[in-house]
Amino acid sequence: MPSDIELYCYCCEEPKVGEEHVPPQSFFAKGNRAGLIKVPSCKLHNQDKSADDEYIRSVLLSSIELDGNQAIASNFEVHSRALIRSGERLKSKLQSDADLKTFLELQEQFKDDPVAGMKIFSELERSGISTGLLGLLSNDYRDEVVVTSDGVEHKTISYSFDKQRFLDYFKLMAKALFYHETKWPWLGEVVLIPHNFVSRDATKNEIALHHHHLNLINRESSQGAHKEVFYYKISTQMKNERAIDYYFVNFCLYDHFKFTAIMASENFIDHKERI
């Protein structure tokens, strides 16, 4: 029989309706999903976040920094198929003659551009025509030139992502890992350090904190059934011999994107089940 607390969501006080994989199954290739972490979850923090799962996975796998990583080649294939499906649904997004006219004008404007597709989706989204995943992934693009190791230049684009959506998503992932290890939901505040996305205007203290925790993230000493995709480790800092002051949740996705979540005991909020 599950304990009373296991009848509730891993990060809120709503009743459990199912189990959430951490990270989601879609982050792993089919045939490579054995031994994944599962935590109890409510509808909001499971089914209702599936669009966030797809968006975040696509943001990470669209990074040029992962190019050449053969260990996750099958993940790139899944990502590519998702983008193709998004492109195939474009026709249904064009609801009027005006929408079609806008699309044809953009097609002509970017006909000689090597990244025309992403730019068209971005411009359609900007004009108010919802284009789904591809539009979100090419938001506020900028032209870039990337030089490969053999000296060949390639034209591409960079784009902005929804930072708050990004941070909120990984705070939830940290809470899920905390629950998995402690069997208790963290309802309080989480401070997240996204090591690959440290702000350019970060203070000296923030940069020092970033470097300190980044140096503690180590694949070999971490846990995870498929470390080429995900690994994590939870550590603590003691206030005294009996009390924990801080919990630190370090985790890494695709052996590149590293995060530290800091949970201070002073921010602990007790669950209604125990009040």
pLDDT in tens, 244-272: 999 999 999 999 999 999 999 988 887 76
Given a cut of 60, whether residue 110 has pLDDT beyond it is yes
Tokens, residue 109: 């404007």
What pLDDT score does 120 carry? 73
Q: Are 17 and 43 in contact (CB under 8 A)?
A: yes
Read off the amino acid at residue 203: T
Query: CB of 167 within 8 A of CB of 194?
Result: yes
| Residue 1 pLDDT | 39
> What confidence category does residue 112 fall into, taking pLDDT thresholds of 50, 70 and 90?
confident
Q: What is the pTM of this model?
A: 0.80
In this prediction, residue 31 carries a pLDDT of 86
pLDDT of 27 reads 92
3-state secondary structure of 191: strand
Distance CA 167, CA 55 (A): 13
169-197 burial, b if ≥16 CB within 10 A, otherwise e? Answer: bbbbbbbbbbbbeeeebbeeebebbbbee
In the three-class reduction of DSSP (H, G, I as helix; E, B as strand; rest coil), residue 161 is classed as coil
Each residue's pLDDT tens digit, 150-187: 666 766 656 667 888 999 999 999 999 999 999 999 99
pLDDT of residue 150: 66
Mean pLDDT over 206-228 rounds to: 95
Helices (H) and strands (E) in the chain, counts: 8, 8
Residue 148 predicted with pLDDT over 90: no
Top mean-pLDDT range of 15-24, 87-96, 193-202: 15-24
Mean pLDDT over 97-103 rounds to 86
Tens of pLDDT, residue by residue over 4-50, are: 778 899 999 999 999 999 999 999 988 889 999 999 999 999 888 88
Tell me, what's the pLDDT at 136? 62
Closest to 54 in 3D by CA, of 136, 175, 176: 136
Q: How confident is the model at residue 139 (pLDDT cuts 50, 70, 90)?
A: low
pLDDT at residue 8, as a whole number: 92
